[in-house]
Amino acid sequence: MPSDETTGRAQDEARAEPWTIARVMAWATGDLRAHGSATARLDAELLLAHVLGCDRVRLVIDADRPLSPEELGAYKELHRRRRKGEPVAYLRGVREFFGRPFRVDRRVLIPRPETEGLVEVALGRTRHIGLCARVLDLCTGSGCVAITLAKERPTNFVLASDLSTDALEVAADNALRLGAQVGLYHSDLYAELGAWRASLDLITANPPYIARAELAELAADIRDFEPPLALLGGADGLTLVRAVVQGAATMLAAAGVLAVEIGAGQAAAARQAFAEADFTDIEIARDYGGHERVISGRRPAGR
């Protein structure tokens, strides 16, 4: 058994050992895992790469590089916040969507991979009018859907709206940085968009669709940090979905397309809402996890 002197010397040597990238990564991964992170290694890599201004490959190449006191201090602060559950996207201030970096903070919902499916459906169902479509994105949040549509089809005329002025500030910043032409409206769904009645070729929406009773079941990094306005969709989660569908029938031009992201298990009720609003060619697309995620339909050409 080591003497007190030997133990003290070992502790001094451990403190004197430099905090290299590899050492920080090993400690951070273990600590985050102990605090419940299911993606501990990835979280640690993303945060350290952010602090060092490099990609994750460089962390491997430079594994033996010691961190400066300033770098170590900056990382420890982000690590402390992640340990408490704050999402990595908010800590880094950016989330990639459709291959582009979008700035995000606690004013907006974090863009998710399944929402890329909403963009893919929208692009696919309007391919025949791709050069001149008039597009509206509701509940735009960070602007990820509207900006992506504008960048993928630069000749489209794209509008985006949100009830949150804070979200619109984030969307405006993203549009400016990414060089997208998007008209932004502060509007409760269609309330301030009457000038575009019966003229839109495409409406997209990722409305709040979490049922009130399901809020407590969400992961803590969603429930405790992302804006409730962007999450809660009423008692059954479909209040906003139904309002989007009902209003779209008067906003779309003949043969115009509506595409809406929905929650798992909501496809049947959403399909009913589309049918009651006289939409035709109703289709449901699944996400990468196999969940029915995007519902779309077409306004009849004869209306």
**25 within domain boundaries:** yes
- Residue 238 near residue 209 (C-beta atoms within 8 A): yes
Q: What does the pLDDT average to over 80-92?
A: 96
**Do residue 117 and residue 226 come from a single domain?**
yes
Residue 9 has pLDDT above 70, yes or no: no
Tell me, yes or no, whether 113 and 152 share the same domain.
Answer: yes
Q: Is residue 149 part of a domain?
A: yes
Average predicted confidence (pLDDT) for the chain: 93
Is the pLDDT at 6 greater than 50? The verdict is no
What total of structural domains would you count in the chain? 2
Whether 69 and 147 share a structural domain: no
Judge whether 97 and 144 are in contact, CB under 8 Å: yes
277 located within any domain: yes
- The domain of 46 spans 4-84
Q: Domain holding 251: CATH number?
A: 3.40.50.150
pLDDT digits (tens, 9 = 90+) for 23-55: 999 999 999 999 989 999 999 999 999 999 999
Identify the domain boundary among 29, 50, 84. 84
Does the pTM surpass 0.75? The reply is yes
pLDDT for position 1: 36
130 band by pLDDT with thresholds 50, 70 and 90: confident
pLDDT band, residue 199 (cuts 50/70/90): very high
Residue 15 confidence (pLDDT): 59
Element (H, E) at 72: helix 69-83
The pLDDT of residue 10 is 44
Report yes or no on 50 lying in a domain.
yes
Grouping H, G, I as helix, E, B as strand and the rest as coil, residue 272 is: helix
Which of these three, 51, 84, 117, is where a domain ends? 84
Q: Are 39 and 179 contained in the same domain?
A: no
The answer to whether residues 30 and 147 belong to one domain is: no
SS3 87: coil
Nearest residue to 207 via CA among 184, 234, 230, 225: 230
For 22-27, which contacts have Cβ atoms below 8 Å and span 24 or more sequence positions?
22/63, 22/64, 24/48, 24/67, 24/72, 24/75, 25/59, 25/63
Predicted confidence at residue 198, as pLDDT, reads: 95
Radius of gyration of the chain from Cα atoms?
23
Give yes or no: residues 43 and 173 share one domain: no
Answer whether residue 95 is part of any domain: no
Residue 180 forms part of a structural domain: yes
Is residue 76 situated within a structural domain? yes
pLDDT digits (tens, 9 = 90+) for 117-128: 999 999 999 998
pLDDT of residue 131: 83
pLDDT digits (tens, 9 = 90+) for 288-303: 899 999 999 999 876 5
Percent of the chain residues topping a pLDDT of 70: 94
User: What is the DSSP track for 23-61?
Assistant: HHHHHHHHHHHHTT-TTHHHHHHHHHHHHHTS-HHHHHH
173, 48: one domain: no
Give the per-residue pLDDT at 303: 56
Phi-psi region at 263: left, alpha or beta (left = phi > 0; alpha = psi -120 to 50): beta
Shared-domain flag, residues 163 and 246:
yes
**pLDDT reported for residue 13:** 47
Same domain as 71, residue 112: no
Strand partners, 135: 158, 202
Q: Given 84, 116, 136, which residue is the final one in a domain?
A: 84
Binning the chain into helix, strand and coil, the percentages to the nearest 5 are: 50, 20, 35
112 with 156, same domain: the answer is yes
Instruction: Name residue, tokens 């962007």.
Output: 230
User: What contacts 137, CB < 8 A, 6 or more positions away?
Assistant: 143, 145, 146, 149, 158, 159, 160, 161, 203, 204, 205
Q: Is 199 within the bounds of a domain? A: yes
- Cα distances (angstroms) measured from residue 183 to each of 5, 105, 133, 149, 258: 70, 21, 14, 13, 19
Parallel, antiparallel or unpaired: strands 252-261 and 200-205: parallel
52 and 117 in a single domain? The answer is: no
Do 294 and 215 lie in one domain? The reply is yes
Average pLDDT over residues 60-89: 96
pLDDT category of residue 129 using cuts at 50, 70 and 90: confident
